[in-house]
Structure 1
């Protein structure tokens, strides 16, 4: 019969508080104490000498004598305590030491004391002693107050507040400050500190840390540690904690832990009644526990993860999925697991999972996702934004991703990737090839395109003009403005043209204004050429350039000038004239009239960097899958609202633009939720459970896989390895 597992009993009494919580509480208490400190600095020696000379037992007695000397015998300044009858032993010793006359009742002193008695003080009166806070009147004190709290309990004459106590009941303690201020140099003069506790000195209070007493009844939101019980191992020394670096970590599911908690393991084998031995085996990210006798009989077995079809560990498959779906790199995650000593799925298993389940799952999920979007676009004419992105900087790219976005909803409608091997190993031809495939895909989906917005790619412009004349083609004015700024800054570097640099931002703004205002080519030309007059402080002219516009549209210029006007006919003015009247630029004016921009699409290209960085290489299916995940991420978080502050305003954060040296603000969006994660994970797990064949079957490339064209992207076949070893010699070999 199996022995049931014992449930440990919790120890009685107040729950223990963790050491970190105690330290935090002690630090908070120390900060509170520091606010009422009295620092006497270099006078500590004189203070201690006086304490010895007058035979004072406590620092409070010394303080009373000094206060009485300043204010006179009886109440402190602003206080309302009746004068104590007769001098004390300490007072007498002090007066004898200082050769002062004994106390006598003088008319002045009696008159002063009478005025203090007649004066009415409210309980909220503020104490004139530095560091002493007003206390509540004893009549309002709660009867349930703990005696450990410092609260006055002596009776006070009626009509008087307990805010001012007998100075002999002010306990002044000298202590050495710790854990409250930054450390100081040991060579600096040490200044002791004083704590003043207001209330009667109770000699019957048991010794305990002030932090524990003060916070004994405090309720915190933090979850306190469990008390020491069987099954909960608590490190006691630093050496014990250091051994944790050698401990093996494993991934374990919650269901598996519940199964382990319900197991009842006997010490003997069920078959032969021989003693059983515990064994542990690691497989991937999982761990197996087995209880086996010497004859090989397995009494009990437990695995930290549920098994899928064919004995695949669910943790291995889900870890692999999380690496790809989150845009991480397996090598980095594997290195992270190595530093954590966490059991991890092998690189070969990850590659097989990725090829067999993860990439097909992403393709399937994207097909369903984009089909729902395209279904809403059919039957209407849409404006699309298109842009190509290379997978690596420079002119040696292997992949080009061409993305199409709906101009109204900003949703990604199509993602096409082209490999260099599909264009004769020419990187220049990839963007046009990807654009052609994109339009063909939208045609097959019965999506009617009325206008296409791209950058000023000449091959794409020629293709649209010849193959799709019914589609209006517009250029992204952001790209045009960027190229315009480059030309102006380059011209400003020429001799006697330095004044043109200061006008760069204003010229670019004028270009945006022209694109937004002009309705046809003639009006665009008139507004655009007006720049040549305005920049030389000429705001009206006789003849327009192909239009009837003969003056600037701005009002009187009364603000101080940021940049100086150019001189008409100067080298800088002539250089600007060549840029403004560039023939190629003027031919492209019809592409600027709609004032379209692909700024949102540029933002999506930056998001792709999270999933497919330009410093990593991927095989074609994986590269496409990572781009599709970025598109799913973008579409799933389009309607993300901004964070609202408590006062109802929109939260923003400041960004410094290095290029323009200007500060900008951007709204702070709510955190992404990644709701599509569950659907992707479920799809991967279902694909494994529904597959009938083995996972270790040979991998067959698809018909459209670029690796069927060539195994590498090199123009030259690789030579034998032995030949490379002989030819490759280091220059630093001695």
Structure 2
């Protein structure tokens, strides 16, 4: 069955046909695949549009039933033969429009001379040229130029030895005038932009093909890729539409008014200038083309993604300023096809270097902690992060989904388990690990005989909350004055001790110190190290056998508190890891639902790359992460 003729815009990128017959892709699977392969130049997207249109100028003459009738004017539409496949790309069908402005100037001179007998010899034309009216001659000369879009035979109106000229057997109608500034609606449904997928191991610009159909838009402009400056490093400017149109309103050859048409694709603008008087024409593009994607569209998507900004907020800013922008679906297509593969590749390279370095070190101290995508016990995703506490570099990140482990409470243990398995497979030998006091993590590391320390800040935070609650009770207000001293004592105990029993001895000495007793019974810490001071104000000291002291003693000497104090980290803490989790909120906010688990992972890996770069150049980029 022959493809149906239907009204629609040609899906071949770069094709500008307006009134030619357009055909929809046939329903036959094999033929439809050939059509799709031609339209997308072999890089068909995963999600195809509902209808794929191809105009008549992409088919050869033998594909039509009534080509002769159509050219003679006896048929209004072309009829295509069953089994026909388009083979003529946009660059081939528009070759007549690919001439530079210099070629148009030569045609203009030929047209003027054709009406004057003084230059007949130089043009080698017959005198029959002077017998035609100016309008008739002008029409034929214009058709000889570049506006004939189908192959035709010579017609004996006048002889010419100029090879580029081709006279049509039927006069070409003058295109109807359009408004000077006619911005077309953006074709976001057209999957041509960003349809060339990039593998993770390739660069985002590896799909560039000079023979791509989009190059038809670049024949009359200079390629910015030829310059010594990379496209993404060049300066960009915000230009108003009225200022652009001032450059194309007048013909640079005859200085008369021109017909100006525009095409827009996101932030990309293509301006076509055609002079109806001297046949001068040219095309100007606001951005270079990378493969099949305008560079500005891709660079803007990358800037939004890599800076951790929100596309929806950027879209509101653009809308307020009347700046042209592509839609969110295009942004996600750019991220999936170009940006995220580059982020994954870069993260794997940096991670391999870090693991290789750690495998060669004798003492490796890591810190681990999990960040959930939402507070409370209803988290769906969790990212467990392992950091080298010597260099503050991220070693590994494991993303865990709650339904994998039977609930959000088990995600932290699973993330730690996966990270340790990876480190063992890469030959990294742990000296110790610093985490919070998660019960499942404690049991898991104890069974694996891994030296485990607790982060001091987490312990001090829990003790401070309980002290504050006690100080707000009746007859316990005096305890509030000791809260800061007790909090400092926690850090001093962890940093100044070499073993668990010594930490416990120093920790319990605070109960004597608050009663103005500075000699202790424990031989591991027999007396306070500060100088003995005499004070006349005895009201600040606590008294034994009082409710305040009894509650304080019960809090500081309970079994769980003494057990945790013995395992407080004497050296590195997880404060850098907590700061990393705080910065993740910029790239992966908790109130944003990511479309896929990989998107959340890419945002986290992207921050890891930035943190690693910041760690390597800390003096220069300190302000960036204040």
What TM-score comes out, normalization by structure 1 length? 0.49
Contact preservation (8 Å) 1:386, 1:404: yes
Task: Tell me the number of residue pairs that the alignment of Structure 1 and Structure 2 aligns.
Answer: 390
Instruction: Supply the distance in 1 between the matched residues of 2:601 and 2:294 (Cα, whole angstroms).
Output: 27
> SS at the partner of 2:509?
helix
Which of 521, 529, 540 is the equivalent residue of 1:553? 529
Distance 1:255 1:489 in 2: 57
Shift of 1:672: 4.2
Equivalent in the alignment of 1:394: 376
Equivalent of 2:611, from 611, 614, 634?
634
TM norm structure 2: 0.57
Instruction: Pick the aligned partner of 1:409 from 391, 396, 411.
Output: 391
Query: Residues 268 and 275 of structure 1 are in contact (CA less than 8 Å); yes or no, is this contact kept in structure 2?
Result: no
Equivalent residue for 2:287? 305
Residues 83-112 of structure 1 show CA distances to partners (whole Å, capped at 9, x for unaligned) of xxxxxxxxxxxxxxxxxxxxxxxxxxxxxx
Q: Is the 8 A contact 1:403 1:415 kept in 2?
A: yes
- The reply on whether 1:385 has 2:394 as its aligned counterpart is no
Aligned counterparts of 1:374 and 1:625: Cα–Cα separation in 2: 19
User: Deviations for 1:657-689, whole angstroms, at most 9, x for unmatched residues?
Assistant: xxxxxxxxxxxx75449xxxxxxxxxxxxxxxx
SS, match of residue 409 in structure 2: coil
Distance in 1, Cα, partners of 2:316 & 2:253: 41
Tell me which of 358, 368, 383 is aligned to 2:349: 368
Matched residues in 1 for 2:477 and 2:614: separation? 46
1:551 CA displacement: 2.7
2:162 is aligned to none
* Conserved? CA contact 1:384–1:449, under 8 Å: yes
Q: 1:288 aligns with which of 243, 254, 270?
A: 270
Q: 1:355 to 1:268 in 2, by over 3 A?
A: same
1:385/1:407 contact within 8 Å kept: yes
Q: 1:670 to 1:517 in 2, by over 3 A?
A: closer
Q: How far apart are the structure 2 equivalents of 1:548 and 1:625?
A: 51
User: CA offsets per residue over residues 261-308 of structure 1, 9 Å max, x none?
Assistant: 9x99984999xxx9851112221111110124779x993222111112
Contact 1:391 1:397 in 2 (8 A): yes
Q: Name the CA shift for 1:264/1:586 in 2 (closer, same or farther; >3 Å).
A: closer
Classify the secondary structure of the residue corresponding to 1:506.
Answer: helix
* C-alpha deviation, 1:401, in angstroms: 1.5
Distance 1:515 1:672, change over 3 A: closer
1:576-587 correspondence to structure 2 within 5 Å = 576-587=552-563
Instruction: Tell me how far 1:363 sits from its aligned partner.
Output: 0.6
- 1:500 lines up with 2:479 in the alignment: yes
Task: Show the counterpart of 1:163.
Answer: none
Q: Which residue of 2 aligns with 1:591?
A: 567
- Return the alpha-carbon distance in structure 2 between the equivalents of residues 624 and 373 of structure 1: 19
Task: Name the CA shift for 1:360/1:593 in 2 (closer, same or farther; >3 Å).
Answer: closer
Supply the distance in 2 between the matched residues of 1:561 and 1:334 (Cα, whole angstroms): 65
Q: Check if 1:478 corresponds to 2:457.
A: yes
> Deviations along 1:190-234, whole A, 9 cap, x unmatched?
xxxxxxxxxxxxxxxxxxxxxxxxxxxxxxxxxxxxxxxxxxxxx
Question: Quick check: 1:605 aligned with 2:586?
Answer: no
Q: Quick one: which of 301, 319, 322 aligns to 1:338?
A: 319
CA distance in 2, matches of 1:328, 1:560: 60
**Ranges in structure 2 where 5+ consecutive residues have no aligned partner:** 1-101, 107-182, 186-223, 225-230, 238-243
The root-mean-square deviation of aligned C-alpha atoms, in Å, is 3.5
Query: Tell me, what secondary structure is at the counterpart of 1:345?
Result: coil
**Paired residues of 2:389 and 2:572 also in contact (CA < 8 A):** no
Q: Secondary structure of the residue that 1:392 maps to in structure 2? A: coil
1:323 positional shift: 0.9
Q: Distance in 2 between matches of 1:483 and 1:386?
A: 19
What SS is found at the alignment partner of 2:527?
coil
* Higher radius of gyration, 1 or 2: 1
Change beyond 3 A, Cα 1:513–1:283: same
Distance 2:397 2:577 in 1: 12
- Specify which of 326, 331, 335 is matched with residue 354 of structure 1: 335
